[in-house]
Each structure stands twice: as C-alpha cells, then as structure tokens.
Chain A
Amino acid sequence: MEYNWDWGVLFREPYFGWIIDGIGWTVTVSIAAWIIAFTIGSVVGVARTVPVRWVRSAATVYVELFRNIPLLVQLFLWYFVLPEVLPREWGLWMKREMPLPEVTTAIIGLGFYTASRVAEQVRSGIEAIPRGQSMAGYATGLTTVQLYRHILVPVAYRLIVPPLTSEFLTIFKNSSLALTIGVLETTARSRQITEFTFQGFEAFTAATVIYIVITLTVTAFMTVVDERAKIPGFITGGR
C-alpha cells in the first residue's frame, strides 16, 4: 500500500489537543446521558411492573416510543424539530441561550433513548424475582410501595448488573452519533484530523484504541460492582 505512515501526527499540536478534547466530550456526554438514562429508566422500568394499569400503559408507551425510533433520527428530532414546534421564544432559547446547545441536546437525546433500554432491563430484573417473594411481602403486611422499596427493587438491581454493563458500554459507543449534530467528540475529532492531515489510518486507529480503553475500564469497574452486588445462589446471579 502506498501510504506514508506518520504516527507522530497524533502527538503534534493542535491534533493532540483535539484528541484530548474529543475524549473529554465523549466521556462528558456519555456519563451525563447515563445519569439521565439510569434515573428515567429506573422509574419507567418500575412503572412497567406496578399493579396500576394506566401507569403501566404510560411506561409501555415511553419504552416503545424511544426504543423503536433510531437514535440518529431521535437526535435530529430533538435538535432540529423540537425547537420549531415549541413556542417561538422557547425555541429560540433552545437554539441560542441554552448552554452548549449541541452537547445538551446530545445528552438529552442519548439519555432518553438509553432510558428505554434501561427500563427494560429493570423490568426484566423485577420480573425475574419469583412471585413468592411478592406474596410473602404482602403477607407480612407490606404495602405495594414498601414491597418495591424493600424487596423488589433492591434485588432486581443486583440481578441486572451484567446487562446494565452492556447498556453502559453502548452509551459510550452511541455517543459518537453526537457528531452529527456538531459535538466534536472523539470520532468527530478523528475525522477532522483526517481532513487536515490525510493521516486517516492513524487518526481512526487512535479513536479505536481510545474507545477500547474507555470500554475496558468501564467493564473492569462494572465487574467489581457485580462481584460486590451479586446474590449467591440466585438463579440469574451467576454467569
């Protein structure tokens, strides 16, 4: 292959600074979106199992809506369409006054999308708990709220650490879609370096390594969490 390799380009300014900057945005967007996803996902996931019909329906609508529209389309809807359908002042605020409009939109879009997936994990966690536990809870005089608070939710979360790890990893990789609405995260920066230096192989190798390092770190962290959290002998607790 006729190609002039130049790994040094990755460590020259301004490109090195771009990469560091890109990693910063990848991590920021992912973590912030994860906080939203985990919070909303927990609420919706629990709502999908409660014995109140309209709450269950509302939660189902949320999950199906956000889970079935491609993330890329959702980002465009949040970014380009939402400000136009809101009252003019609100729309202008979203486009101009809102701090870091692209980043904020990416975090919200990614967070709401991932929340629907987290919700499904939470629901499956709760449903994996044998019915006997709920019945025993009610038999000891717990209310529904107390049942969830003391039995179902704590056990469910300990069961779903492995699948949640996957969702957590996915959010880092999905954060690269934020480049389509102008967030200069790792992938966007790699593209930019390619366009400026024509050293595409180096730039994307760097991006690959960065994503692997980030996700392996997350995996290691979640493994520790899983070790601490898993319930010995519980059927879905082992792997």
Chain B
Amino acid sequence: MRETRAFIERLPSTFRAVLGAGALVVAFGSTPAIAQELTGTLAKINESGTILVGHRETSIPFSWIDSDGGDPKGYSIDLCMKVVDKVKEVLEKPDLNVRFVPVTPQTRIPLLANGTIDIECGSTTNKLSRQEQVSYLPTTFITGTKLLVKKDSGIAQLEDLVGKRIALAQGTTNERVIKAMIEEQSLDIDVLNVADHAEGFLSLETDRVDAYSTDHILLFGLITRSNSPEDYEVVGDFLSYDPYAIMVRRNDADFQLLGTRVIADLFRTGEIKEIYAKWFEPFPTSDAVSEPPTDLLQASWRINAFPE
C-alpha cells in the first residue's frame, strides 16, 4: 500500500487527478443514474415514497394538534410543508406520501437520528451541544427568558423586582438564568420555586408573586389561557437567547441545503411574514394576544435570506 502511494506521489499532478477520477468511476459506476444525485434523506424518501415529518402535540403555535384531532398545524409545520413541497418538486413525485410522527423533547433527537422521522418541525432550540447529534436549518424563531407581570404593577425589567418576589419553575434554564443574574448583581429579589408553568402562573394570578419567568413565547401561551388576558403583559429584554430551528439529520448536506434554500427563499421573498402573521398575530388560541415579530427576529430573517 505504502509503495503504491509513493508511486502515485511521484506521478505528475494532472496524471494523478485523472487516476483519482478513474478510481471514483470504478467505485460508483455501477449505481443507477438517478441515485447518483440523491444521497441520504433524499435517497431514503425517494426509495420509500414517504416523507416522515416529526411534530409536537402541544407546542402552540409552533406545532400542535387541535382538539378536533386533525393533522398537526402551526408555524413550524407550515415551514416544513414548504420543504416537503420542494422535496416533491426535486424528486418529481407530486403525490409523495407525507406521514406525521409525534415526538417529544426526549424523543425528537433519537428518532431523527435513527430515521423514524426525516425532519423535525416543533419548537427546538438550536444548541451547539445538540449539533453534535443533529443539524439545523436557519433560525425561524427567536425566544428567550422574559418576565410576565400584571399590567398595573409598573415592573418593566428584572431590576424593578427588588424587594419583590418572582416565581421560577424548578429545573428550567430560565431558573438558572434569573438566579445567576440575581446573584451577579446582588439584587434583593425573593424567589419562589414552583413545580411547573401552570403553578407559576397561578402564583402570579393570585398575587403571591409579582412576576413569573420563562421563554417569552410560552408566557404568551400562558396569557392566552388565562381568564383575563388583558391584565397581563410580557416585559423586559431577553435575558437568554433561544433560537428555534427545524432539525434535520446530521451529515446530510444535500437535504440540509434543500431545506436551507426553501427557508432562505421564504425570508428573501418576505413570504415568511405572512406565515408568521397567520400564527402569531393574533395567537390561534386567543384573539386578544398578538405578538408581532421582534426586531431581532426580523434581523435574523434578513441575515438568513441568502441569495440564490
């Protein structure tokens, strides 16, 4: 082997290139013509005639199943359907079978990795640690830790809570962020540990605390479910950064490129604004709550609007 290699290295470079190309032809020459262009997920979809779309069941308004029990819907689902349309076009299979597969935060990554789903359309934060297992399309939504307060409280940011109480759900990233900030700035803010979002909201509703904190979009979800949505508001700057993105399999450059192209097109043409408005202005679960795209999100759309 070493001798062969030494021999090749002594050859002129053009000759070496020809030799390399020849080796490639030998290696892949036997595969059919169409598969030559298709790899990974696209090849899998082409072969099975089905695309498997992973969705969440309660991530309102990103990806959820309504009480009528129909197909999943939401912002992320709409975006994924655009990707599916593109797949149909590329594979020239207009009647491609689309199958929805429910996933949870615990199952979404393994199911994507093992091929049970081909694309995950939910509310997943793009994290570097997750990128060790999966890849992401461009960021489609940006959330982060914010504060939920009553409108008449006069609280606009974390510092306004000095001498007051805030509820935090045990085990959330938001809990850590807020506690770290309180410690860093040595703020005199009392913390009430609650078990979940519902209990945190109940504590705020009953005046037990002055604020509750979690991902800002989830706070809107909580407001829509309250008896008097007009009494609450979400305030403050983002205290953490959680960019949501559609997940695809890792090491599948072709499919990732296809998805990125679809998303970038939506950003560039501005179509994303219509899709966004459909799900966030107002919320599908309550006409009283509307969340226009933040400046940060609009900037992100523009940054990711790659030219063709």
Chain A residues in contact with chain B, CB under 8 A?
A: 80, 83-84, 91-92, 95-96, 101-102, 179-180, 182, 184, 188, 191-192, 195-196
Contacts and interface: CB of A to CB of B under 8 A. Distances in A.
A188 B169 CA distance: 12
A95 B206 contact: yes
Given A80-B206, A84-B206, A95-B208, A102 B170 contact: no
B188 interface: no
B: interface residue count bin: 10 to 19
A53 to B, nearest CB: 40
Contacts of A188: 170, 193
12 contacts: A83-B208, A84-B206, A91-B206, A95-B206, A96-B207, A182-B193, A191-B171, A192-B170, A192-B171, A195-B170, A195-B171, A196-B176
Contacts of A196: 176
A191 B175 CA distance: 13
5 tightest A-B CB contacts, nearest first: A195-B171, A182-B193, A95-B208, A182-B192, A180-B195
Given A191-B170, A191-B171, A83 B206 contact: yes
B277 interface: no
B207 A102 contact: no
A196 B208 CA distance: 26
Nearest to B168: A182
A101 B208 contact: yes
A195 B193 CA distance: 14
Given A188-B170, A188-B193, A195-B171, 20 more contacts: A83-B206, A83-B208, A84-B206, A91-B206, A92-B207, A95-B206, A95-B207, A96-B165, A96-B207, A96-B208, A101-B208, A102-B192, A179-B195, A180-B195, A182-B192, A182-B194, A191-B170, A191-B171, A192-B170, A195-B170
Interface in B189-211: 192-195, 202, 206-208
A192 B176 CA distance: 11
Contacts of A195: 170-171
A1 B155 CA distance: 49
A133 B170 CA distance: 56
Nearest to B176: A196
A182 B192 CA distance: 6
A85 to B, nearest CB: 11
Contacts of B165: 96
A95 B207 CA distance: 7
A101 B193 CA distance: 12
Contacts of A184: 193
Contacts of B193: 182, 184, 188
A179 B193 CA distance: 9
Interface string B150-173: 000000000000000100001100
A102 B190 CA distance: 12
Nearest to B208: A95
Give the residue among A92, A191, A195, A196 with the most B Cβ atoms within 10 A.
Answer: A195
Nearest to B195: A180
A84 B203 CA distance: 11
Contacts of A95: 206-208
A95 B193 CA distance: 14
A49 B207 CA distance: 43
A96 to B, nearest CB: 7
Contact of A80 (B170, B171, B202): B202
A95 B202 CA distance: 12
Contacts of A91: 206
